[in-house]
Amino acid sequence: MRAVFLSPRYPPEMRQFTRGLAEVGVEVLGVGDGAPDPELRRYLSGYLEVPSLLDEDDLIARVRRWLRGRSVDRVLANWEPLVMAAARMREQFGVPGMSVDAVRGFRDKQLMKDRVAAAGLRVPRAHRVHSIKDVWSAIEQIGYPAIIKPISGAGSADTYKVTSALELERILPHMHHVAEAICEEFIDGDEYTYDTVAIDGVPVLESVTQYLPNALQMRSNEWISPIMLSVRDLEQAHIRPGVELGRRVLTALGMGDGMTHMEWFRTPAGEVVFGEVACRPGGACVVDLMNYTNDIDLFREWARVATHRTFEGSTVRKYNVGIVFKRAQGQGRIRHIAGLTEFYQRYREHIVEDTLLRPGTPRRDWKATLLSDGYIVVRHPDWDTACRMTTDAATSIHLYAS
């Protein structure tokens, strides 16, 4: 089995997916826009460095020349900006996998909502917009509050909530670089993910994670310590409808083999509303949460599904798992962490990962990465206990920089 894997070195978790491919016996031909380090190279059978991964036509031409007639069995990509390039390569090279049309349904947010709505599922009212005039016209039909975001964006980048005409006027100048956007109804409710590993669009593993607070609030307020908390029991009355919604969405969009990441809302009235979905793994440590929940290695299991169409991991959900992202107060280098020693004294046996930046380390740009200045991961079979630990980490641990 030989597979082309786009961008094995970035984002950082792609290294783990590369490892997974190698461990299930795949000959991995990596394509990236930088040189792989020695550790990554040991999982690669070949590597092509290109000037840009985002110039699709040039990328495809370079890969074609590089292969020089060598056959490949799969073309894979787990980074959102590259899923369409991978689909185009599959069609041009005659390789099995999701088609360009199917992938477009996961990438184009308006087309996505149209197809999901056509299946009879509740989606936010939305309009595709190309100009300021289009935005104002869409707002007239949707009303306030509304959300404006790129038609093919990811991770809440360039995403804005607007509650008035004055606010819209302030935000529009920040959208000039976005060629095509979507203006949609704002859904007020608790926000969850629905993540899967699927074969022929049928989930062989399912997971639900709650955002605390919602994703847009996480990305908009520096003082917040965002929490993502995986749910052990998917049979709960307030969770089950979201799982059923997710399954129907994958059918409506024609999902194939691989991982998916969907966001959905539960309103105060109990209505379940689709948000958006991607035909790739969730970022910001979502796969790590799933691994800690089930005690499995989904980097390897994804590889097995994507290449051999089999899944061998455990589907038993053992824990609720919470990750808390921390943002330092101040600028410069981390000089002090308050509350961490005490947190360890209270919960040491339940802490499974700690990447908080230690004193002397330069703090990161919190707007550029949800990982911020590090995170701490805890897990427990009991939901209330897991919630208490994550809330405690969010409120009692403080990083200071200067």
Mean pLDDT for 356-364 is: 97
The reported pLDDT for the residue numbered 156 is 60
Tens of pLDDT, residues 15-41: 999 999 999 999 999 999 999 999 999
Q: Whole-angstrom Cα distance, residue 168 to residue 180?
A: 17
Least confident of 68-72, 119-123, 225-229, 344-348: 68-72
The edge-to-edge listing of strands for the beta sheet with 258-266 is: 272-278, 258-266, 190-199, 202-212, 227-230, 320-325, 375-380, 351-354
The reported pLDDT for the residue numbered 153 is 66
Is the alpha carbon torsion for 377, 194, 259, 23 positive or negative? positive
Residue ranges per domain, the chain?
2-97, 125-185, 189-318, 320-402
Distances (CA, A) of 153 to 41, 48, 349, 395: 30, 26, 39, 31
Domain 2-97 has CATH 3.40.50.20: yes
Q: What is the CA radius of gyration of the chain?
A: 21
Residue 83: closest CA among 8, 6, 184, 15 = 6
142, two tokens = 């949707």
125-185 has which CATH code?
3.30.1490.20
User: What share of the chain has pLDDT > 70, as a percent?
Assistant: 99
Tens of pLDDT, residues 177-202: 888 999 999 999 999 999 999 999 99
Q: Which CATH architecture has domain 189-318?
A: 2-Layer Sandwich (3.30)
CA dihedral of residues 78, 265, 253, 110 (deg, nearest 10): -90
The reported pLDDT for the residue numbered 306 is 98
pLDDT category of residue 128 using cuts at 50, 70 and 90: very high
pLDDT category of residue 383 using cuts at 50, 70 and 90: very high
Mean pLDDT for 148-159 is: 76
Find out whether 389 and 350 touch, Cβ atoms under 8 Å: yes
Q: Whole-angstrom Cα distance, residue 344 to residue 332?
A: 26
The reported pLDDT for the residue numbered 7 is 98
Could you write out the DSSP letters of every residue in 46-63? EEEE-S-SS-HHHHHHHH
Backbone angles phi, psi at 95, to 5 degrees: -105, 140
Mean pLDDT for 206-211 is: 97
| Bridge partners, 161 (sequence order) | 147
114, two tokens = 């149209």
The reported pLDDT for the residue numbered 11 is 95
Mean pLDDT for 374-382 is: 98
